[in-house]
Amino acid sequence: MELRGIIPPMTTPFTEQGTVYEEGLRRLVDFQVEKGSHGLFICGTYGSGPIMTLEQRKKVHEIVVDQAKGRIAVVAHVGTASTEQSVELARHAESVGIEYVSSISPYYFHHDDRAVVEYFRALVESVKVPVYVYNNPNATHVKITPKLLQNLAAVGVQGIKDSGFNYIDFTHLVLALEDRPAFRFIVGTEGIALPAFMVGAKGCISGLANAFPEIMVELWDLFQAGRYEEASRLQLKVNRARQILHIPSSTNAACYAALNARGIDVGIPKLPVLPVEKDKEKAMLAGFREIGLL
């Protein structure tokens, strides 16, 4: 299934004991399918992948594939600080039928470009499914530059989720791969979704779409229809909603609160992420009501 359109970096429901809340996860997959999302990016930042055990991440792979039943594209984020663990997760994802894998650069240590390329070479050589690099310099302290992206493409990386939050940098990445028309660009924030679509992004992995996929699907549909004036107005509403989502200190936790407010039981965040403080939750939900999302 083609990776395109609106791809929520799906929240992972947890129990109070910190285990994967299977019933909530299955319901969340159905919710995203019902609301028109085109793909799911699982076990990423919003999905709490870095704070889950390998076995928990594998369990999420299995549950999501089983519940999706081929209705929606699935991308497994397999990034860890360890090449061996990332390869293990990538192989598992492929073995259960996940169509794409993605990874941030290995984190904790400061790695140079050569180390990053070798890490991704190992991932590419370990699976047959497409491998995407996830540019998240705030988390890894590694910025995927145009030159590094060219080197990653040379070892077989087939696309990028860019969460650098900088439109000019995004365009420079696109320009660097002009000679590789099959290379796929996915913008990693709803904040610059429309301008990114205009210069070649084939989709958006949107944190806001975790809780409100409809507004992002509408934005994508307007762009696809060439209704750019309407799309530009909706982009401003998206950015207002994004401001509201950032009222709590953790947008990860904010998505749990927003989903639960919509009647989608996703349990609670996994420690060390804490639930949103009540006063901030109240302010956030009031903001969403004010702009018509609740």
Task: Note the pLDDT tens digit of each residue in 34-82.
Answer: 999 999 999 999 999 999 999 999 999 999 999 999 999 999 999 999 9
Q: Which domains does the chain have, with CATH numbers?
A: 5-227 (3.20.20.70)
User: Which residues partner with 203 through β-bridges?
Assistant: 5, 186
Task: Note the pLDDT tens digit of each residue in 207-260.
Answer: 999 999 999 999 999 999 999 999 999 999 999 999 999 999 999 999 999 999
Question: Under a CB-based contact definition with an 8 Å cutoff, are residues 198 and 177 in contact?
Answer: no
Position 199 confidence tier, pLDDT thresholds 50, 70, 90: very high
- As a whole-number percent, the residues of the chain with pLDDT over 70 amount to 100
227 token code pair: 């209704």
Q: What is the mean pLDDT of the chain?
A: 98
156: region left, alpha or beta (phi > 0 left; psi from -120 to 50 alpha) = left
**pTM higher than the cut 0.85:** yes
> What is the pLDDT, as a whole number, of residue 269?
98
Query: DSSP secondary-structure letter at 268?
Result: B
Nearest residue to 30 (alpha-carbon basis) of 189, 244, 264, 258? 264
> What is the pLDDT, as a whole number, of residue 25?
99
